[in-house]
Structure 1
Amino acid sequence: MEKTPVTRQNSEEIDKFLDGAASFADMMFGFLDGSNESEENSGDLVHRDENADDLEVEQNKIFWEAQQQLLQATLRRTTCLESRIRQATKQALSEIEQCDCRVGGCRNCLQRELSVRLQSAGFDCYICKSKWRRSPEIPSGEHTYLEVLDKSSNPQKGEVRVVIELNFRAEFEMARANEDYNKLIARLPELLVGKTERVNALIKILCAGAKKCMKEKNMHLAPWRKQKYMQAKWLGTYERTTAAPLPVRHSEPRPQKPKASMLTFDLLERLPGLHYTAVELVW
């Protein structure tokens, strides 16, 4: 077997081949090393994502606990005026009979009768109808509620407005709310009697909770759930009217038709032309 002599040209070609192979090997090992490094980096990202999720869960927990405490403190602080109006309102509601407008009673009739009864109890009570126009943030709407004006508490500050809302909890309920928001709403009274400052504080707490709830569920917050929309209901421009007593309906008894019994019906008097002939029975 002949050996091919190694010439300078062949030597240079071999060197080039070896250098190329070395470069390819370096490239491959570099790629493998880079892939290992990327796996380590991806592991770090997963670890960081888990830490971020744990941090977000903890922040959400702190938020809802703070909202619960704020709501409880806002509802617990009440004035003597609010307590007197609340007691008189509950007493009046227990005495009002349901109207005949529809099954379950009519909200308008209930507010009207309640306003009259509170006036009789010595409170300056009115029916208020708020109405607001559409804006880029919220749609238009209107709402009716009751309010009591008081000037005797602090004459220097002027009139004190006390809002009476018969369905306050229902105004903030949401069908797709999470458990934390539902727990917050469960603390609300159905009947709210509070000064405008207290109503505004409650609106801020509840609307912040609604916004947080929708963010956690990756859903869009409806415009009628926003803070400005809720504030327009009880704190915006409104018209005030004085309620008049509802007309009393007197039901007159229907005249009863004379009833006759065949046992006492006198045919001879009713029918004088009718004659009877005695018949003798012979056996």
Structure 2
Amino acid sequence: MEDDKAIKKAAERIARLLDQGMAGDSFRVRLASDVARAAADMALLRSRSSRSEFQRAVVCRLREQGHDAAVCMTSWRGKQDVSAGRYEYIDVVSMVTGKQATTPGERYIVDLGFTAEFAVARPTAAYASVLEALPGVLVARPKVVQQVVKVAGKAARRSLKGQGLTVPPWRKKRFVAAKWFAPYRRTMGDTAGHHAPVVASGDATMCRTVGFVHACS
């Protein structure tokens, strides 16, 4: 079937995107290792608490390791064919040390349950290969995440239609993308109530939070 072929190609495309995103990026390699270690250290908390509490614990551990990590909370209003929603993920901003000062560098998105966001009812055998290609814990630059979300989301909709199912509102293209790319609020996991201004995703605005400066790009 044409849909199955397209879905299998999507899995290959996702694998290439993630591999290319890792190539030559030593900070991402180190960050991915630190995230995996922090998540493993907090594994017991994950089974006994909410996703939000688990993420905040991981953020605290990453900050202890010297990373500029925070929880990003997105929210968006419903309009036209997009339902209202909200989501949380982690971001980490690398720091560039210059001769006179240390400045924010690249921003990385960290999602501790990424694959689960693309689970669908009655997945086709071809779509199972897409789920296998997706990382359970995602660590990538926003541009890579945007491409992966686009490819995986389209494959999910193909799988649903291939099974004769209606695409629900929370599987629509704009709803899925909004989870990571709607305006977000950046907050420290260990300091409840200390919030940064809301930032439009994709904007190069600087956010100030409790004395720290973060690049929200």
TM-score, normalised to structure 2, is: 0.77
Deviation at 1:97, TM superposition (A): 6.0
| Residue in structure 1 matched with residue 52 of structure 2 by the alignment | 108
Q: Does residue 71 in structure 1 map to residue 14 in structure 2? A: yes
Cα separation, 2, equivalents of 1:189 and 1:75: 9
Cα separation, 2, equivalents of 1:73 and 1:109: 32
Q: Does residue 141 in structure 1 map to residue 65 in structure 2? A: no
RMSD in angstroms over aligned alpha carbons?
2.6
Per-residue CA deviations over 1:20-77 (Å, capped at 9, x if unaligned) read xxxxxxxxxxxxxxxxxxxxxxxxxxxxxxxxxxxxx2x3344233212201101222
Deviation at 1:113, TM superposition (A): 1.5
Q: Compared with structure 1, are the counterparts of its residues 103 and 64 closer, same or farther at alpha carbon in structure 2 (3 Å cutoff)?
A: closer
| Residue in structure 2 matched with residue 227 of structure 1 by the alignment | 173
Cα separation, 2, equivalents of 1:221 and 1:71: 22
Which of 17, 35, 38 in structure 2 is aligned with 1:92? Answer: 38
Q: Compared with structure 1, are the counterparts of its residues 134 and 61 closer, same or farther at alpha carbon in structure 2 (3 Å cutoff)?
A: closer
Q: Looking at both structures, which has the greater relative contact order when contacts are Cα pairs under 8 Å and sequence separation is at least 6?
A: 2
Q: Compared with structure 1, are the counterparts of its residues 245 and 132 closer, same or farther at alpha carbon in structure 2 (3 Å cutoff)?
A: closer
Structure-to-structure mapping, 1:257-272, within 5 angstroms: none
Q: Which amino acid counterpart does residue 195 of structure 1 have in structure 2? A: R
Number of aligned residue pairs: give it.
Answer: 186
Q: Compared with structure 1, are the counterparts of its residues 112 and 65 closer, same or farther at alpha carbon in structure 2 (3 Å cutoff)?
A: closer
Which has a greater percent of helix? 1
| Residue in structure 2 matched with residue 14 of structure 1 by the alignment | none
Which of 105, 115, 131 in structure 1 is aligned with 2:75? Answer: 131
Structure-to-structure mapping, 1:14-93, within 5 angstroms: 57=1, 59-77=2-20, 78=22, 79-93=25-39
Q: Which amino acid counterpart does residue 129 of structure 1 have in structure 2? A: M
Which of 197, 200, 220 in structure 1 is aligned with 2:143? Answer: 197
Moved over 6 A (4+): none
Q: Compared with structure 1, are the counterparts of its residues 80 and 225 closer, same or farther at alpha carbon in structure 2 (3 Å cutoff)?
A: same
Unaligned runs of 5+ residues in structure 1 are: 1-56, 247-283
The answer to whether the 8 Å contact 2:115/2:136 transfers is yes
Cα separation, 1, equivalents of 2:4 and 2:53: 43
SS at match of 2:48: coil
Q: Which amino acid counterpart does residue 146 of structure 2 have in structure 1? A: N
Q: Does residue 179 in structure 1 map to residue 179 in structure 2? A: no
The answer to whether the 8 Å contact 2:157/2:167 transfers is yes
Q: Compared with structure 1, are the counterparts of its residues 212 and 97 closer, same or farther at alpha carbon in structure 2 (3 Å cutoff)?
A: closer
Structure-to-structure mapping, 1:246-261, within 5 angstroms: none
| Residue in structure 2 matched with residue 7 of structure 1 by the alignment | none
SS at match of 1:171: helix
SS at match of 1:152: strand
Unaligned runs of 5+ residues in structure 2 are: 99-103, 193-217
Cα separation, 1, equivalents of 2:52 and 2:161: 36
Per-residue CA deviations over 1:205-226 (Å, capped at 9, x if unaligned) read 1111022222322322112112
TM-score, normalised to structure 1, is: 0.60
- The structure with the larger Rg is 1
Q: Does residue 214 in structure 1 map to residue 157 in structure 2? A: no
The answer to whether the 8 Å contact 2:8/2:130 transfers is no
Q: Compared with structure 1, are the counterparts of its residues 214 and 103 closer, same or farther at alpha carbon in structure 2 (3 Å cutoff)?
A: closer
Q: Which amino acid counterpart does residue 76 of structure 1 have in structure 2? A: D
Per-residue CA deviations over 1:176-227 (Å, capped at 9, x if unaligned) read 2211112211221211111111110111111110222223223221121122
